[in-house]
Structure 1
């Protein structure tokens, strides 16, 4: 079978790559991952284990592969290009988004890491892939240094057609209200993000759908929930006894007394609705609406992985503790998004 040659930067545990692999499989192609960059060793381990990646093709810091200049490739970039080989079909990546996040009140929109978005454009200039997929949070459009517009101009100058849009994950079947900014670029034809989403519309899936036929929680790190503090146990017990899904004001911490914008914090999920955005805080009720719908506990890592659209066979067991599970799963790109966008790019 023909190979689809892929480079994945800022890869995390492999959510985009997993979606690309399925899109390629449906076209009778085999995924050939030429290069992966992921600075988190634990997420990188999960990527290697689940996508059968040769360790020699895994790298850490992306700045050891590509510079931030323009023009002819540097010696460093030339070595990267030789290692990858000729004819890359697809370059994908989800650069760090924390600097753009609306939850970040310190450096929002003007974080030095935000410039890493432009590494994707530089990688395209050096590797010259047929198509490019870049994922980030919607707030990336308001970056103080205009990284999206700058990346778009550079890609167009390099011979790509480019399109950008915000994608509502719930519309493509992911059971959460997550929204993401997407940039697609191609040398084969003009991509259309909205058209890609329209081709993948499916009925809104809820938490009941995501938790169907799940193994019950146990004492393992993956399928077990973190122990609640006495105060949080009191909070969820009161909500369940009163059939509430929002925490009453009298049980909120002092920082949320009176008027506040944190209605979802300490909230209880509903089976008949999608989850809120799954973040690295899914195991901590104080970081969002992460109490289980009908059990007095927070979400397990397994439940969070289901809500992120990871199949049950995807192995997270290499994670040594709950923080590692939370980071890998909460920072992941739902594979369904990778599948929908890769399928569109391959059909151009």
Structure 2
């Protein structure tokens, strides 16, 4: 294979484009994508205008039609990648795994097998929450992939994004399956990135010229006073003792609520509540505010100028950012796939 050869990929369940961004950073050409949410499609297309995007429910989309419209024969696609919606598997939704949640979105994981059957890609990359590994649908998916010729039973494991250059603690299930072979998950020679490495050079929000960074906060004076008294650089509301909000004094667990990030550590997992200190340890290490949406996106390892739609407001944008795949995590594992295909698959 020549250095200029193109490896083509499709991104199922695109979201705002974290997976596609990571694939591009690993030098894949993303030729198609599927996404249902209009605001995510708007964000995706703004950042990846060259990608053919199908907007709608993937269950209503015939993969044969997509393959034909992309002018691909079975076996010509190099990588089928996707992150099926995972809210139904998450530890919060399942009370830390103690009960199952009957969420129709859980069955979307089987779309990976359906599209693999149509495209017969050289490789498959799927990422999801760790709880999927304990769900019966994972066994069904693995069996289906193996019947298609992808030895998948030993092709997945749970990793932590901070080990791959993402400045955040974030556990993910990663599956890499190739036709008639097994390749390892990416190794971890990546230097750890801290909150300071990621956002330490950003200006104070308000007049940066970046709307995602400058969005104002709306909090009561009482809450602002509480935030101002939380110690800098990793401080916790617990350190306020009786000066906590009354609702926090009665709260058993969720100790990161109204906590500050620490400069010299990775951030906690960035969630859809990342702009709200009542949802986790999302206060800036030293400024008396929650992290901005731009800071949240950078902690997810998005490029600093990546565009997110604010058409539906701050919470909708935070939801996109928190649910997105960290591009650097994708890049690490997609690079493993690229190197394998270049060396062994005759492409």
Find out whether 1:275 has 2:267 as its counterpart: yes
Structure 2 partner of 1:322: 314
Structure 2 partner of 1:126: 118
User: Shift of residue 328 of structure 1?
Assistant: 1.6
Structure 2 partner of 1:135: 127
Structure 1 partner of 2:280: 288
**TM-aligned CA distance change 1:246 to 1:274, over 3 Å:** farther
User: Shift of residue 45 of structure 1?
Assistant: 1.3
Structure 2 partner of 1:4: 7
Where does the alignment leave 5 or more consecutive residues of structure 1 unmatched? 25-29, 66-75
Among residues 14, 28, 31, which one is paired with 2:29 in the alignment? Answer: 31
CA contact under 8 A between 1:236 and 1:268: conserved in structure 2? no
Q: Tell me the TM-score normalized by structure 1.
A: 0.86
CA contact under 8 A between 2:81 and 2:125: conserved in structure 1? yes
Structure 1 partner of 2:66: 80
Structure 2 partner of 1:72: none
Does the residue aligned with 2:127 lie in a helix, a strand or coil? strand
CA contact under 8 A between 2:156 and 2:175: conserved in structure 1? yes
Q: After superposing the two structures, state which structure 1 stretch, 100-109 or 40-49, moved more.
A: 100-109
User: Shift of residue 192 of structure 1?
Assistant: 1.4
User: Shift of residue 32 of structure 1?
Assistant: 4.0
Structure 2 partner of 1:174: 166
Q: After superposing the two structures, state which structure 1 stretch, 108-117 or 323-332, moved more.
A: 108-117
Cα distance in 2 between the residues matched to 1:216 and 1:308: 19
Structure 1 partner of 2:333: 341
Does the residue aligned with 2:219 lie in a helix, a strand or coil? coil
Mapping of residues 131-210 of structure 1, within 5 Å? 131-143=123-135, 146-162=136-152, 163-187=155-179, 189-193=181-185, 196=186, 198=187, 200-210=188-198
Structure 1 partner of 2:235: 244
Where does the alignment leave 5 or more consecutive residues of structure 2 unmatched? 341-347
Find out whether 1:44 has 2:44 as its counterpart: no
Structure 2 partner of 1:216: 204
User: Shift of residue 22 of structure 1?
Assistant: 1.4
Cα distance in 1 between the residues matched to 2:261 and 2:68: 49
**TM-aligned CA distance change 1:140 to 1:251, over 3 Å:** farther
The alignment of Structure 1 onto Structure 2 pairs a total of residues equal to 325
Find out whether 1:102 has 2:100 as its counterpart: no
CA deviations on 1:139-161 (whole Å, 9 max, x unpaired) are: 11222xx1111111111110113
CA contact under 8 A between 1:210 and 1:306: conserved in structure 2? yes
Among residues 55, 58, 78, which one is paired with 1:59 in the alignment? Answer: 55
Structure 2 partner of 1:16: 19
Cα distance in 2 between the residues matched to 1:156 and 1:45: 36
Does the residue aligned with 1:180 lie in a helix, a strand or coil? strand
CA deviations on 1:149-179 (whole Å, 9 max, x unpaired) are: 1111111110113201011111111111111
Does the residue aligned with 1:161 lie in a helix, a strand or coil? coil
CA contact under 8 A between 1:10 and 1:93: conserved in structure 2? yes
**TM-aligned CA distance change 1:36 to 1:16, over 3 Å:** same
**TM-aligned CA distance change 1:291 to 1:90, over 3 Å:** same
User: Shift of residue 312 of structure 1?
Assistant: 1.3
CA contact under 8 A between 2:94 and 2:101: conserved in structure 1? no
Cα distance in 2 between the residues matched to 1:259 and 1:312: 36
User: Shift of residue 109 of structure 1?
Assistant: 4.1
**TM-aligned CA distance change 1:323 to 1:258, over 3 Å:** closer
Find out whether 1:232 has 2:230 as its counterpart: no
